[in-house]
Amino acid sequence: MTYRVGKYTLPEYSVLMSVYDRELPENLNESLESMLMQSYPPSDFVLVCDGKLTCELNIIVKSFQDEFKHIFHIVQIDENVGVGKAYNEGIKACKCDYIVKMDSDDISLPNRCLKQMTLFAVKPKLDIIGTYVEEFDTDTDEVVSVKKVPVMHKDIASYSKRRNPFNRQSVAFRKSFAEKIGGYSDLKICEDYEFIARMLQHGAKGQNIPEVLVRYRIDENTVDTRKSWEHTKAFIRVRWIIHRSGYTGFRDFFMPCALQLGLFIFPRKFTRWVYRTFLRK
């Protein structure tokens, strides 16, 4: 069905989501509903089941599959392979050239896809579009912070040398460009930043919509995860990969890694303060 905004015909799009057995059923239900009830609905929905799911999750998935059977497609992977490989299987299954990525526990606001597809229609040379995201406490629903990112391509390119210039929960991208660069790597942590840096390195054009269009869940364990040794190692590794590719200079590699090591070493309260004061602007 053709959807127009003014003189622009909006492109059709696929939604790509990956889920695994540790997801909470109520979060998956809310996430799926937020995408399937968009004001400009998807033409295609690809859910990658990364390994076997729990009975409760399967019930949620089956209910949406029955209700939206004309667009809802499941890619089943027998064993958990991690998000990068799961996304690649999903990208292959997506029917549309525009893919809107969605995490299985976050919430998209009703006009998210309408606004992203409108921008793609207005600026057809864009390959990646993101938005601001709102971090909220999953227990109280209280807004904790708004994560803002650069808006225009020139600032995005500069920012990308040290940090991901797109909120991973909000990204929409061209399937054809993603396939041209080989899709996601097999990294299990920080795979989104490596993917975006490679897209930009190969000439992708990007823009962010300066508006909160996705709500991102955090809880009392989020800070601990961000300052963990596992996350710190992955953080350094992905920046070393990006540096070795020639995309960044040594200073761009060293500075964020030094900061992350500091967050790992210093107390939890200091890490929380740094994130809220500096890393959410």
Instruction: Classify residue 39: in a domain, yes or no.
Output: yes
C-alpha–C-alpha distance, residues 42 and 45, integer Å? 7
Are 258 and 206 part of one and the same domain?
no
Q: What letter would DSSP give residue 110?
A: T
The residue from 219, 236, 255 where one domain ends is: 219
Q: State the residue range of the domain holding 141.
A: 4-219
Are 195 and 74 part of one and the same domain?
yes
Q: HEC states along 37-62? A: CCCCCCCEEEEEEECCCCHHHHHHHH
Are 263 and 161 part of one and the same domain?
no
- On whether the CB atoms of residues 46 and 94 are closer than 8 A, the answer is yes
Local confidence pLDDT in tens for the 281 residues of the chain: 689 999 999 999 999 999 999 999 999 999 999 999 999 999 999 999 999 999 999 999 999 999 999 999 999 999 999 999 999 999 999 999 999 999 999 999 999 999 999 999 999 999 999 999 999 998 899 998 999 999 999 999 999 999 999 999 999 999 999 999 999 998 888 899 999 999 999 999 999 999 999 999 988 777 667 668 888 898 999 999 999 999 999 999 999 899 888 877 876 666 666 656 655 55
Are 128 and 186 part of one and the same domain?
yes
Are 255 and 172 part of one and the same domain?
no
Instruction: Classify residue 281: in a domain, yes or no.
Output: no
Could you please report the per-residue DSSP string of 215-272? EEEE-TTHHHHHTSHHHHHHHHHHHHHHHHTTSS-HHHHHHHHHHHHHHHHS-HHHHH
Are 213 and 86 part of one and the same domain?
yes
Name residues whose C-beta falls within 8 Å of residue 44's C-beta, 6 or more positions apart in sequence: 12, 13, 14, 15, 71, 73, 94, 95, 96
What is the number of structural domains in the chain? Answer: 2
Q: Which two tokens stand for residue 224?
A: 């601990």
Are 206 and 234 part of one and the same domain?
no
Cα-Cα end-to-end distance for the chain = 39
CATH number of the domain that residue 124 is part of: 3.90.550.10
Q: Which two tokens stand for residue 130?
A: 């993101």
C-alpha–C-alpha distance, residues 239 and 156, integer Å? 17
Are 155 and 195 part of one and the same domain?
yes
> How many residues belong to the chain?
281
Are 190 and 253 part of one and the same domain?
no
Could you tell me the pTM of the whole model? 0.92
Instruction: Classify residue 87: in a domain, yes or no.
Output: yes
| SS3 category, 185 | coil
Are 131 and 14 part of one and the same domain?
yes
